[in-house]
Amino acid sequence: MMEIVVILFGYLLTCVCADGLADVVLSCTLVEEGVGLGGMGGGAHFTRTPATLVLRDVPVASDESLETLTPFIPPSIPDSDAILLEVKVSSPEIPNAHVLLHADCNEQEVMCEISRYSPHGSQESSGSAYFMVSVSVEGVEFSTALILQTLVVEKDHSTLIQNQLGLPLSQSGTLLTEVIFLVYSHVKSVSAPLRGDVVLNCGFKQQEIPLAQEVAVEWRLQHRGQGWKVLELKTRLDEAEGSTVVHEQRRGSSMDAQVVREGNASVTLTKLKVLDEGSYICTVSIGLFHAQQVIQLQVNQPPHVSLSEEKLVLKTESPQTLSCHCANYYPLDAQMEWLSLSPADTEPTVLPDQGSLSSHRQHGDGTYSLSSHLSVPSTVSPGTEITCRVSHPALDAPLSVSLVVESPEQGSYWWILGFLIITLLFFYQVMR
């Protein structure tokens, strides 16, 4: 058996590895609502206490190399002040839990918050206590909400009681728990094209001994302080006939009952509109338990970029206006830039005069348009290439449209030549 401790930003990750299984130790915060403070109608008062979460038996790929080796010393004397939650994660398995093992190497911060959980309508007489644990990893698509149930501890005269929680501790000073239900989403935010389709992923798992046969999935959208229901589906896991009820509030949203029974609560949204943007909350309820995940949806549409002129012939006296139209894009943050490349140069340069911008116009579908008007001075040398370059979040690379400035002589030369020929013909006729 190998024992490993990895330090991460002051977070302590410990892995005790054997047979492709590892233990992950996370620094968490226990958040409790203040007792006897605030009172009726008073603002919520929360206390935050450091706590530790030990996830036992997280599966590790055999080619995993865990480098920083330091022995992990379990508390030799159980401490009734310490909050140490020990969780067996083999059943149900936490999807992608191995991400937690890598968080240290990749310098990603792990967010872990624990709170007491009371199942809906329970009488609190079952002898078990419940906790809700939210774990997510910064910069990685990992987010899980776990519901933990404490295991029964055989009490004797030596059994310690955790001071703050009033729960009996195991011989090694931990609160023994098991995962009974979890909701996860490994996508925290999604971008999808306007009028396109998107799948928002959300999944759940429950203990092998099911908590209940009925599952309800609700998707809500929250945007700018407003919230509304998108879709709700209730079904039975035993596939009883006619057991599925679907409420489709947003037209073009769907979930598949069969897929939901397999633990996939993902929703499909079709024909996306700008108004579909926001925070989607996936709530899965099983029996007395429910947990949620939040996914951000960003709708986007790349701009259509064009120039007002197909060709630009210099006039000797007055400057000419060239406009760049950037049309039907979303979101608002589009950037326009004028560049010029004269025949003598190899690299285009950003024009010192960036023209004048029109105000944003918003269309019925929520997209925007913007134009930039550049005054091309008559002093610009013919053959110069003028480019309008547009950057937008929906574009992988900036989009450019250009034209080459033509010299005025070319046009007038033919005109003068034509005039001369006509004049000569005229004189020839007259003199004959």
Ligand X SMILES: *[C@@H]1O[C@H](CO)[C@@H](O)[C@H](O)[C@H]1NC(C)=O
Query: Interface with ligand X by CB under 6 A: which residues?
Result: 199, 201, 203, 259, 264, 266, 268
| C-beta of 86 vs 218, nearer to ligand X | 218
Backbone angles phi, psi at 412, to 5 degrees: -70, -25
Question: Nearest CA to 176 among 151, 147, 207, 156?
Answer: 151
| C-beta of 137 vs 312, nearer to ligand X | 137
| Min CB(247)–ligand X separation in Å | 18
| Min CB(202)–ligand X separation in Å | 8
| Min CB(110)–ligand X separation in Å | 22
| C-beta of 21 vs 257, nearer to ligand X | 257
Q: Is 328 left (phi over 0), alpha (psi -120 to 50) or beta?
A: left
Q: Which residue is nearest to ligand X (CB)?
A: 264
| Min CB(141)–ligand X separation in Å | 12
Cα distances (Å, whole numbers) of residue 250 to 232, 274, 400? 10, 14, 38
| Min CB(262)–ligand X separation in Å | 8
| Min CB(298)–ligand X separation in Å | 18
Q: Is 85 exposed, middle or buried (0-12, 13-18, 19+ CB in 10 A)?
A: buried
Q: Are 403 and 310 in contact, with CB atoms under 8 Å apart?
A: yes
| C-beta of 93 vs 406, nearer to ligand X | 93
Kindly state the tokens that stand for 355. 């023209």
Distance of CA 149 to the CA centre of its chain: 30
Q: Spell out the residues 6+ positions from residue 170 whose beta carbon is closer than 8 angstroms to its own.
A: 86, 153, 176
- Rg (Cα) of the chain, in Å, rounded? 33
| Min CB(220)–ligand X separation in Å | 18
| C-beta of 255 vs 307, nearer to ligand X | 255
Q: For 92-103, b where at least 16 C-beta lie within 10 A, e where not — what string?
A: bebbebbbbbbb
Kindly state the tokens that stand for 60. 């590790």
Distance CA 328, CA 275 (A): 15
**Torsion angle of C-alpha atoms 235, 241, 245, 246, degrees rounded to 10:** 90
| C-beta of 3 vs 248, nearer to ligand X | 248
| C-beta of 102 vs 261, nearer to ligand X | 261
| C-beta of 110 vs 260, nearer to ligand X | 260
| Min CB(266)–ligand X separation in Å | 4
